[in-house]
Amino acid sequence: MTDELLEKEKKALAPESGFNLVGIDPFGSAGNTLYLIEHFEKYQDALNAKKQRDNPDEYLILYPGAT
C-alpha cells in the first residue's frame, strides 16, 4: 500500500470532533485497510470501548477530532 492511499484513509476516518475507534484490516485491499467501528464524543468512552473489544488479534486505533 502506498503512503498516499493510507493518508487518504486516515483523513477520511478522522472525525471533526470527538474520537473514532478504527480497525485495521492487514489483509484488506489497497485503500480499504481501515474501517470505522464507532464514534465517541468523549475520549474515556472511546478508550473503554477499545479495551472491551474481545478479539486480541484485532488492531485498533483511536483517531481524535480536529476540535
pLDDT digits (tens, 9 = 90+) for 19-41: 999 999 988 888 889 999 999 99
Q: Which residues contact 5 (CB under 8 A, 6 or more apart)?
A: 30, 31
CA dihedral 56→57→61→62, nearest 10 degrees, is -30
Q: What is the per-residue pLDDT for 38?
A: 96
Q: Which residues contact 50 (CB under 8 A, 6 or more apart)?
A: 21, 60, 62
Its pTM stands at 0.85
Q: For residues 25 and 33, is the Cβ–Cβ distance under 8 A?
A: yes
For residues 50 and 21, what is the distance between their CA atoms, to the nearest angstrom? 7
Q: Given a cut of 60, is residue 1 above it in pLDDT?
A: no
